[in-house]
Amino acid sequence: MKITMMVLTLALLVGAARAQESVPIPCAPWQAFDAVLEPTTLLGEAQRRQLIDEALEHVERLHVDAEFDGVDLDELRQAYEWRIEAARDDHQVIALLQEMLAWVDASFTSREERQERLARAAFTGVGIHVSILSDGHVLGINYVYPGSPAEAAGLARGDRILGVDHRSACPHPMDIRGPVGTDVTLAVTSPGQPLRRITMTRAAVEQSAPPRAVRLDEPGIGYLWPGDFAAPGHPAAIRAALDDIGAFGTADPLEGLVLDLRGAFGQGERALNAIASFGGLFGDGTVLYVIERSARVPVVIAAQPDRLDGVAVVILVDAATDGFQGMFAAALQARERAQVVGQPVHGTWRLYVAEQLSDGSLVAVPSGELALVDGTRLRQSGLIPDSVMAVDWRDYPEDDDPYVAEAIRLIRTGGIGTD
């Protein structure tokens, strides 16, 4: 049976990983340090069955793939039902529900975890935006908010966080948050610098990430980091930033633009709308499709009054580039409007809908999948750069960024579309 083969394959992979001492142990799902960890037994047999029934009903009704990624839902139920009923406590029930739904690319969040996340989301931090790197063992800083404790402490984009307080491995972004006035200690490395420990006092931080556009030392080439795609009015802010470096002028026109989407952030419907508008700087028409179970919805960009016609574009990506930013890079690459430099991006490339269960828990199910105009599904192909970089940009100071250097080389050697 399919499930039996999946479990056997997983067991073999785990055994092989344990045989290699150099392979780090995968990080476990995040758990707040101040959360109650003692086992409890609150869910009865009927309640456990109800959670299974409700979760799989949402999968059957909403999943983008009518074949549920090749998984037989009846077999999936049989493989996990008895294990969930026999679980010794609620923690194990939740872990098994999460494991079961992962086979169909869905997820489960308990009511208690939702409440914990909401409570901690209201806490404050040190003013950084991070991505989880290296299988969860490292956090990479993508942005430092102006006026924040992190800026005052000298943290910068590209730094790595190896530990938070007493968590010496598998740091999580939520560990950095906490009440105003409390301290947090980060173990940080910067390019070319030894490990250092920095203690900061948490504060309320205004989370503003405006775009950054500059002219590089290389004549005729500009650089753009777009900031937070989901921020209100962001497409206009991007156009204004480009205008400030003469992107639309004729006195000293741009020959090329380096668009940096490494660790870019901004998700949700607002981000999708912003990118559709942002894309109008580079062209127009249908660039992608959202494949639903019974429909194919086009993602259309409209030409903007100010356009980067005649400007060669190179997009920088890394393993932390995902979601709508990866989609945007793949779309311009497929249209031969831009070349891509960096690391392959293998995200889920799916859109999710969250449904609440009767006990207050949540199930998130993939309801749509992104595809290029030629029908290529990004979930299957991923985003493969035109120029794959074997090095990590976080190992280099900003002025010696090898990704930017490769982008300049591509612009200078030509061959990039310039609609």
Domain count, the chain: 3
User: Of the residues 71, 91, 117, which one is the last residue of a structural domain?
Assistant: 117
- Domain membership flag for residue 256: yes
Q: In this structure, are 170 and 217 located in the same domain?
A: no
User: Of the residues 64, 88, 117, which one is the last residue of a structural domain?
Assistant: 117
**CB 191, CB 397: distance < 8 Å:** yes
Residue 141 burial (C-beta neighbours within 10 Å; 0-12, 13-18, 19+): buried
- Domain membership flag for residue 356: no
Per-residue pLDDT 10s for the chain (419 aa) are 444 333 333 332 333 333 333 445 667 666 665 554 455 557 888 999 999 999 999 999 999 999 999 999 999 999 999 999 999 888 899 999 999 999 999 999 998 888 887 777 777 899 999 988 877 789 999 999 999 999 999 999 999 999 999 776 788 888 898 889 999 999 999 998 999 999 999 999 888 888 999 999 999 999 999 888 777 777 888 899 999 999 987 788 899 999 999 977 766 666 667 777 788 898 888 888 889 999 999 988 887 888 898 899 999 999 888 777 888 899 899 989 999 999 998 877 888 999 999 999 999 999 999 888 888 888 888 899 999 999 999 999 999 999 999 999 999 997 665 55
Domain of residue 394: give its range: 212-347+382-413
What's the pTM?
Answer: 0.85
Backbone φ and ψ for 115, nearest 5 degrees, come out as -65, -40
In 245-335, which ranges are continuous DSSP H helix?
A: 269-278, 323-334
Q: Which residue from 310, 303, 296, 320 is spatially nearest to 383, judged by alpha carbons?
A: 320
Q: In this structure, are 110 and 143 located in the same domain?
A: no
Which residues contact residue 324 at a Cβ distance below 8 angstroms, ignoring those fewer than 6 apart? Answer: 229, 266, 267, 271, 272, 275
At residue 290, the 3 state secondary structure works out as strand
Residue 213 burial (C-beta neighbours within 10 Å; 0-12, 13-18, 19+): buried
In order of 98, 130, 267, the CA distances from 103 in angstroms are: 9, 27, 24
Q: In this structure, are 301 and 230 located in the same domain?
A: yes
Q: In this structure, are 318 and 395 located in the same domain?
A: yes
Q: How many CB atoms lie within 10 A of CB 340?
A: 27
User: Of the residues 182, 201, 220, which one is the last residue of a structural domain?
Assistant: 201
DSSP code string of 105-136: T-EEE-HHHHHHHHHHHTSBBSSEEEEEEGGG
Q: How many CB atoms lie within 10 A of CB 54?
A: 17
Q: In this structure, are 94 and 110 located in the same domain?
A: yes
- Domain membership flag for residue 14: no
Residue 21 burial (C-beta neighbours within 10 Å; 0-12, 13-18, 19+): exposed
DSSP code string of 310-378: T-EEEEEE-TT--HHHHHHHHHHHHTTSEEEEES-B----EEEEEEE-TTS-EEEEEEEEEEETTS-BH
Q: Which residue from 268, 288, 281, 269 is spatially nearest to 235, judged by alpha carbons?
A: 281
Q: In this structure, are 141 and 85 located in the same domain?
A: no
Q: In this structure, are 130 and 269 located in the same domain?
A: no
- Domain membership flag for residue 22: no
Which residues contact residue 371 at a Cβ distance below 8 angstroms, ignoring those fewer than 6 apart? Answer: 288, 289, 290, 291, 296, 377, 378
* Distance of alpha carbon 261 from alpha carbon 322, whole angstroms: 9
